[in-house]
């Protein structure tokens, strides 16, 4: 099998290190591909190439940047079935989810193609006579982009596209579990005429490649999505070289279901939020908080639906829930299930590996009840298809439980009470508040991010991406000089 190369300074380059073997989590016998593992020296070369490309790219015409991003978006759309299949094969989400994510990545590129044409500033009068003030936006420089495995094309897209739109150069380090989608993005940028050095791909380990990116003084900013632990360590290091940083990390997202909720919609929100994408989303629902009047009906319907979900090969059209991404994540899920049992929570669905035709990391959608909010399964991010049901006396107690967490990414409420929906909108301590909608599932044209331990730095996506990917210069002009 040929080893796919890294993309540095406009060239595809090999590595002397042992390649990274990308395996299908639905069937470990299936090798998706082999990818050259970049080392520290190659990462430094990529950073130098990005630095060297920056002066010209930062002054390139906005039309050139818009055209590049639009072309990449168009090519992703044209190849959405093929790339979506690759995504499902290497990450384990279902084919439908893989294609959906790919289409979304295309939309992200197209959205930011438009944004390249709308880089605006502000012109102000000065309190001083004869002076005008211009507040303008400029590119930041070289951006290190470090991404996780759970959205192998959408997360890279929503970082790479705005970085390039606003005139920055990029060194991209994807998670080692999903080099295939990263390679596809690099290929499409290369074949769309991205000038050399403007975009570089370095597949490799966080400890080696990631660490060089975070430590290098020539990198001006790091955009990271991943775990809280890695994010915190990385941020402390990045600040040492005065980098701009943006971190998207975990969640422990609650869904409150009140007595007056539409039952079918509420159950569907919980099923989608907790189990789709195998629960491997930072916006996944992991705590379902119920008030007494709906408890029994909701619990019965949720358990029935969860048990009926079809777990299987991500590429099988009938599959609703694909496997965990790898053996480590599967072990984490199973370990948390035994932690929950030891803590006194009661298993009402799943709780073990799911029977499946192939040798993959299948796990049954799992539900605990009698969960107290101080239990580890209610406080720590599991990142698997495991949901906990908690009881609350009323809306006020449900909201207090929802907010009692170190995280603050997404929270949902299912209710037909305008009063409670409005109170929740104002008082949920999160970056994403969902009303009669799942905690997961967001749009690309509006900001994404959380509060507390979930996020740090400016919001990602939509118009707000301009805040991270540009810096501000304030220009004073004495307009009274000259004729
Ligand atoms: P996940 O479980 O979502 O992969 P991680 O935080 O472990 O979360 O990894 C997220 C990304 O950060 C990956 O691309 C990983 O390789 C990278 N990474 C891990 N450790 C480091 C590190 N010390 N420095 C820089 N990047 C790292």
Condensed to tens digits (0 to 9), the pLDDT of residues 392-447 reads 999 999 999 999 999 999 999 999 999 999 999 999 999 999 999 999 999 999 99
Q: How far is the CA of 459 from the centre of ligand 1 (A)?
A: 20
How many Å apart are CA 286 and CA 275, to the nearest integer? Answer: 9
Tell me whether residue 137 is in a domain.
Answer: yes
Residues 244, 261 within the same domain? no
Residue-level pLDDT at 356: 81
Instruction: For a ligand 1 pocket test, name from 146, 229, 278, 454 the mutation site with the most ligand atoms within 8 angstroms of its C-beta.
Output: 146
Are 190 and 323 contained in the same domain?
no
Kindly give the number of the ligand 1 atom that is closest to the alpha carbon of 230: 6
| Ligand 1 centroid from CA 14, angstroms | 23
pLDDT digits (tens, 9 = 90+) for 288-329: 999 999 999 999 999 999 999 999 999 999 999 999 999 999
The pTM of the full predicted model, rounded to 2 decimals, is 0.98
Beta bridge partners of 138: 471
Which residue's C-alpha comes closest to atom 19 of ligand 1?
206
Question: Residue 161 C-alpha to ligand 1 middle, in angstroms?
Answer: 21
**Token pair 């909010």 in the structure block, residue:** 373
Same domain assignment for residues 367 and 290: yes
Specify the residue with its C-alpha closest to ligand 1, atom 14: 175
In a domain, 296, yes or no: yes
Angle (nearest 5°) at CA 50 between 48 and 51: 60
Distance 124 CA to ligand 1 centre (A): 43
Nearest CA to ligand 1 atom 21: 206
Distance 226 CA to ligand 1 centre (A): 6
Instruction: Examine the domain organization and report whether 208 and 71 are in the same domain.
Output: yes
Contact 312, 318 (CB under 8 A): yes
Which one of 282, 380, 381, 460 is the catalytic residue?
A: 282
Residue nearest to atom 8 of ligand 1 (CA): 226
Q: Cα(414)–Cα(421) distance, rounded to whole angstroms?
A: 8
- Per-residue confidence (pLDDT) for residue 81, from 0 to 100: 98
User: What does the pLDDT look like over 153-179, one tens digit per residue?
Assistant: 999 999 999 999 999 999 999 999 999
Catalytic-labelled residue, pool 97, 101, 208, 248? 248
Residues 326-337 have a mean pLDDT of 98
Q: Hey, whose CA ends up nearest to atom 27 of ligand 1?
A: 206
303 shares a domain with 197: no
Question: Would you say 460 and 249 are in contact if contact means Cβ atoms under 8 Å apart?
Answer: no
Bridge partners (DSSP) of residue 9 are none
Clarify whether residues 347 and 266 are in a common domain: yes
pLDDT score at 275: 98
pLDDT score, position 288: 99
Whether 168 is in a domain gets the answer: yes
443 in a domain, yes or no? Answer: no
- List, for residues 111-125, the tens digit of each pLDDT value: 999 999 999 999 999
Is residue 13 in a domain?
A: yes
Q: How far apart are CA 250 and CA 237, in angstroms?
A: 20
Which residue's alpha carbon is nearest to atom 17 within ligand 1?
A: 206
| 454: nearest Cα among 226, 239, 269, 265 | 226
Residues 239 and 345 in one domain: no
pLDDT at 298: 98
Asked if 274 and 245 sit in the same domain, the reply is no
**What's the pLDDT at 358?**
83
If you measure from the C-alpha of residue 144 to the centroid of ligand 1, how many angstroms do you get, rounded to a whole number?
13
The domain of 412 spans: 253-435
283 lies in the same domain as 146: no
- Considering the domain boundaries, does residue 361 fall inside one? yes
Which residue has the least CA distance to atom 18 on ligand 1? 206
The Cα angle at residue 24 between residues 314 and 317, in degrees rounded to 5? 15
**Residue identifier of the C-alpha nearest atom 23 of ligand 1:** 207
CATH code at 257?
A: 3.40.309.10
Q: Per-residue pLDDT for 483 more than 90?
A: no
Residue ranges around ligand 1 (CB below 6 Å): 146-149, 173, 175-176, 206-207, 210-211, 214, 226-227, 230, 233-234
Q: Between β-strands 346-349 and 366-369, what pairing exists: parallel, antiparallel or unpaired?
A: antiparallel
Q: What is the mean pLDDT of the chain?
A: 97
Confidence of residue 148 (pLDDT cuts 50, 70, 90): very high
Please give the number of the atom of ligand 1 that sits closest to the Cα of 146: 14
Distance 173 CA to ligand 1 centre (A): 9
Return the structure tokens found at 368.
């605990």
CA-based torsion, 78, 84, 89, 95: positive or negative: negative
Residues 267 and 479 sit within 8 Å (Cβ to Cβ): no
Total number of domains in the chain? 2
For residue 357, the model assigns a pLDDT of 77
Q: Is residue 24 part of a domain?
A: yes
Pair 59, 23 in one domain: yes
414 flagged as catalytic: no
What pLDDT score was predicted for residue 272? 98
Residue 194 designated active-site: no
Dihedral sign computed on CA atoms, order 259, 265, 271, 273: negative
pLDDT at 482: 83
Instruction: Tell me: do 90 and 157 sit in the same domain.
Output: yes
Q: What atom in ligand 1 is closest to the CA of residue 229?
A: 6
**What is each CA distance from 242 to 20, 162, 220, 404, in whole angstroms?**
32, 21, 8, 33
Q: Tell me the best of 47, 208, 212, 226 to mutate to test the pocket of ligand 1, counting ligand atoms within 8 Å of each CB and taking the most.
A: 226
> 128: CA distance to ligand 1 center in Å?
50
pLDDT at 193: 98
Which one of 210, 236, 237, 326 would you pick to mutate in the ligand 1 pocket, going by the greatest count of ligand atoms within 8 A of its CB? Answer: 210
Mean pLDDT is lowest, of 166-180, 271-285, 347-361, for: 347-361
**Same domain as 325, residue 364:** yes
Domain at 87, CATH number: 3.40.605.10
């Amino acid at each position: 099998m040929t080893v796919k190369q890294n993309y540095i300074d406009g060239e595809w380059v090999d590595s002397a290190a042992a390649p990274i073997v990308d395996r299908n989590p639905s069937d470990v016998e299936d090798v998706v591909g082999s990818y050259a593992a970049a080392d520290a020296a190659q990462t430094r070369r990529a950073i130098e190439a990005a630095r060297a490309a920056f002066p010209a790219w930062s002054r390139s015409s906005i039309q050139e940047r818009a055209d590049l991003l639009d072309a990449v978006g168009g090519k992703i759309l044209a190849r959405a079935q093929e790339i979506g299949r690759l995504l499902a094969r290497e990450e384990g989400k279902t084919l439908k989810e893989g294609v959906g994510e790919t289409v979304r990545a295309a939309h992200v590129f197209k959205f930011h193609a438009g944004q390249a044409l709308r880089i605006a500033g502000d012109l102000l009068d000065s309190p001083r006579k004869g002076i005008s003030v211009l507040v303008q936006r400029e590119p930041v420089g070289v951006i290190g982009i470090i991404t996780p495995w759970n959205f192998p094309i959408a997360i890279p897209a929503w970082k790479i596209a705005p970085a390039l739109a606003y005139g920055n150069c990029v060194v991209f380090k994807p998670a080692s579990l999903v080099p295939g989608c990263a390679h596809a993005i690099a290929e499409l940028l290369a074949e769309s005429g991205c000038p050399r050095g403007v975009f570089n791909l370095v597949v490799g380990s966080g400890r080696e490649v990631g660490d060089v990116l975070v430590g290098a003084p020539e990198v001006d900013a790091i955009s990271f999505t991943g775990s809280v632990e890695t994010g915190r360590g990385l941020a402390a290091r990045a600040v040492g070289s005065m980098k701009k940083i943006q971190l998207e990390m975990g969640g422990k997202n609650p869904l409150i279901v009140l007595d007056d909720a539409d039952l079918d919609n509420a159950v569907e929100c919980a099923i989608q939020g907790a189990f789709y994408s195998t629960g491997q989303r930072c916006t996944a629902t992991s705590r379902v908080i119920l008030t007494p009047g709906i408890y029994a009906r909701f619990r019965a319907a949720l358990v029935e639906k969860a048990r009926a979900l079809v777990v299987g090969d991500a590429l099988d059209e009938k599959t609703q829930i694909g496997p965990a991404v790898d053996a480590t994540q599967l072990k984490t899920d199973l370990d948390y299930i035994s932690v929950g049992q030891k803590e006194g929570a009661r298993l009402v669905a799943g709780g073990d590996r799911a029977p499946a035709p192939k040798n993959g990391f299948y796990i049954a959608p799992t539900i605990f009840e009698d969960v107290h909010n101080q239990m580890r399964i209610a406080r720590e991010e599991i990142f698997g298809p495991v949901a906990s049901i908690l009881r609350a006396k009323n809306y006020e107690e449900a909201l207090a439980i929802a907010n009692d967490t170190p995280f603050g990414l997404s929270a949902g409420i299912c209710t037909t009470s305008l009063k409670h929906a409005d109170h929740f909108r104002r008082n949920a301590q999160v970056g994403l508040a969902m009303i009669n909608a799942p905690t997961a599932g967001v749009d690309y044209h509006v900001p994404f991010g959380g509060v507390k331990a979930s996020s740090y730095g400016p919001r990602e996506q939509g118009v707000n991406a301009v805040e991270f990917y540009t810096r501000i210069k304030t220009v004073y002009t004495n307009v009274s000089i000259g004729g």
